[in-house]
Chain A
Amino acid sequence: MGRSFLALLRRDITLALRRRTDVLTTLFFFVIVVSLFPLGVGSEREVLRLLGPGVVWVAALLASMLALERLFAADYEDGTLEQLLLAGQPLALLVLAKVLAHWLLTGLPVVLIAPLIGMQYYLPQTAILMMMLALLVGTPVLSLIGAIGAALTLGLRGGGILLSLLVLPLYVPVLIYGSGAVSVSTIAAAESQPYLFLLGAFLVLALVFAPLASAAALRISLE
């Protein structure tokens, strides 16, 4: 079981690294969206500091969602996905491997580039650290929930737009606590720990239930 998990993880990462543009496109999408806001709302320091956490989280949401379409699509087209369904391994575990690979390639780069974005928005150092931490805990939840939507819309016409309609409402709690953690960390009196704990709780819940739901969705889509 562990070996099939690792094998699939390694395969997905290798495949993605052979086509680096896919990974980089998501990252640059994130950077561009975040950089557009100061141009749109004006570059006053106070305004940007206020907007920063929310903008970064919304951009991370959109970037993660755009990349979701590719999560199962290639494997679905060339028939690999059917073989995964037929394999004698628990499908939820294989889905988890794919989601983990997806997060390593789209979520983790966003976490790593966050300090740069934080500086664009004049966030103080504590807030930048908190933003990295919150993104580190929160973005896997986005990938896990998004996998359900990606599995449900597999091979549909206009699947991308439909996917956003299904998945974005479910992202709301992560958005609220993620940006909440960063905003609160700039206030001296407030404590941002509860926000992180709640994000962690979402992560645990999503880790347990989302792979099962995605596996069920894949079986429905490939029936």
Chain B
Amino acid sequence: MQLNWFRFAAPANFYPLAGRLVPIFGVIAAVTVLIGLYWGFFETPDRLGGTNPQKEYYRIIFIHVPAAWLSMWLYVVLAGWCAIGLVFNTRLSYMMANAVAPTGALFTFLALWTGALWGRPSWGTYWDWDPRLTSELILFFLYIGYLALHSAIDDARRADKAAALLALVGLVCVPVIYWSINCPDPNQCAALHQRSSLTQMEPNILSAMLTMTFGLWMYSFASAFARLRGIILEREAESTWVQELVAPASREAIR
């Protein structure tokens, strides 16, 4: 069977597909998150690390690390859809970018928040101007900037393109910002945030964390598609297929 990918570039064709995908991704997300949480809370050792172990509070890792990974990954996804939109001038790509952005901002906020809660018992402080923390904060500002610019422009086409350009500029700046905050002389500023050490982790902790990452990733698919359906309906409100779709429902509502 040959699949015509461009068929789904039209919002009218993607709308029902997204509707079918939302429950699938939603169920997968719910199941894997439940498995991941159970695994993380009941099947893992009660301390993390060797010489100076973290006690029970390390379990916030199962939310914190997946949220931080997804916050960065979703920005790349967002910028990718923006680039596709600018190159091929397809409306659906912009809508995708627009649907992904709030989820990304949510995960960035979650990563910062859980990081603060984790930092308090382990470092003795909620916040520190550490490279990773600061660049995550700036990533949050970039998400907010994208959303603010998009909502400030009334004309949808201009809003899409302007916000897309901003997202791409932000993508170029993210590594620069990251390396700049990672100060040039490492002897002068000590980084509190430890480097990722996936290979040294206890296998159960690692697996639970990866399961959670997968679950939250599936959640981002589900939430983005659900949001996308709303955006499509809003943008295409004037077109006939939306009118037909909405018509029987509104007639019933009147009755």
Interface residues of A (CB under 8 A from B): 148-149, 152-153, 156-159, 162, 165-166, 168-170, 172-173, 176-177, 180, 190, 194-195, 198, 202, 209, 213, 216-217, 220-221, 223
Docked-complex contact B161 and A213, CB < 8 angstroms: no
Docked-complex contact B162 and A169, CB < 8 angstroms: no
A48 to chain B, nearest CB (A): 21
Docked-complex contact A152 and B162, CB < 8 angstroms: yes
Q: Which of B107-115, B137-145, B199-207, B235-243 forms contacts with chain A?
A: B137-145
Docked-complex contact A153 and B165, CB < 8 angstroms: no
Chain A residues within an 8 Å CB radius of B148: 162, 165-166
A153 to chain B, nearest CB (A): 7
In the bound assembly, the distance between CA atoms of A180 and B158 in angstroms comes to: 39
* A174, closest chain B residue (CB): B180
Known: A152-B166, A198-B184, A209-B172. A172 touches B149 (CB 8 A): no
B46 to chain A, nearest CB (A): 39
A221 to chain B, nearest CB (A): 7
B176 to chain A, nearest CB (A): 5
Within 8 Å of chain A (Cβ to Cβ): is B102?
A: no
Known: A220-B162, A221-B158. A157 touches B181 (CB 8 A): no
A93 to chain B, nearest CB (A): 19
Docked-complex contact B141 and A152, CB < 8 angstroms: no
Nearest 4 CB-CB pairings of A with B:
A173-B180, A169-B141, A220-B161, A166-B145
Interface residues of B (CB under 8 A from A): 138, 141-142, 144-145, 148-149, 152-153, 157-158, 161-162, 165-166, 168-170, 172-173, 176-177, 180-181, 183-185
Docked-complex contact B152 and A153, CB < 8 angstroms: yes
How many contacts A-B (CB < 8 Å)?
Answer: 75
Chain A residues within an 8 Å CB radius of B141: 165, 168-169
In the bound assembly, the distance between CA atoms of A176 and B165 in angstroms comes to: 25
What are 29 pairs between A and B in contact, CB < 8 Å? A152-B162, A152-B165, A157-B152, A158-B152, A162-B148, A162-B149, A165-B141, A166-B145, A166-B148, A168-B141, A169-B142, A169-B145, A169-B170, A170-B169, A172-B138, A172-B180, A172-B181, A173-B173, A173-B177, A176-B180, A177-B180, A180-B183, A180-B184, A190-B185, A195-B184, A217-B165, A220-B158, A220-B162, A223-B158
* B145, closest chain A residue (CB): A166
In the bound assembly, the distance between CA atoms of A216 and B144 in angstroms comes to: 22
B101 to chain A, nearest CB (A): 14
A148 to chain B, nearest CB (A): 6
In the bound assembly, the distance between CA atoms of A106 and B154 in angstroms comes to: 32
Which of B158, B162, B172, B181 counts the most A-chain CB atoms under 10 A from its CB? B162
Docked-complex contact B169 and A148, CB < 8 angstroms: yes
A14 to chain B, nearest CB (A): 31
B223 to chain A, nearest CB (A): 24
Chain A residues within an 8 Å CB radius of B161: 220, 223
A91 to chain B, nearest CB (A): 14
In the bound assembly, the distance between CA atoms of A177 and B168 in angstroms comes to: 23
Chain B residues within an 8 Å CB radius of A156: 152-153
A211 to chain B, nearest CB (A): 13
B174 to chain A, nearest CB (A): 10
Docked-complex contact B152 and A220, CB < 8 angstroms: no
Docked-complex contact B138 and A169, CB < 8 angstroms: yes
Which of B169, B170, B181 counts the most A-chain CB atoms under 10 A from its CB? B169
Docked-complex contact B169 and A213, CB < 8 angstroms: yes
A174 to chain B, nearest CB (A): 9
In the bound assembly, the distance between CA atoms of A152 and B162 in angstroms comes to: 6
B203 to chain A, nearest CB (A): 38
B91 to chain A, nearest CB (A): 15
Known: A165-B148, A172-B138, A223-B158. 4 other contacts (CB 8 A): A165-B141, A173-B173, A173-B180, A202-B176
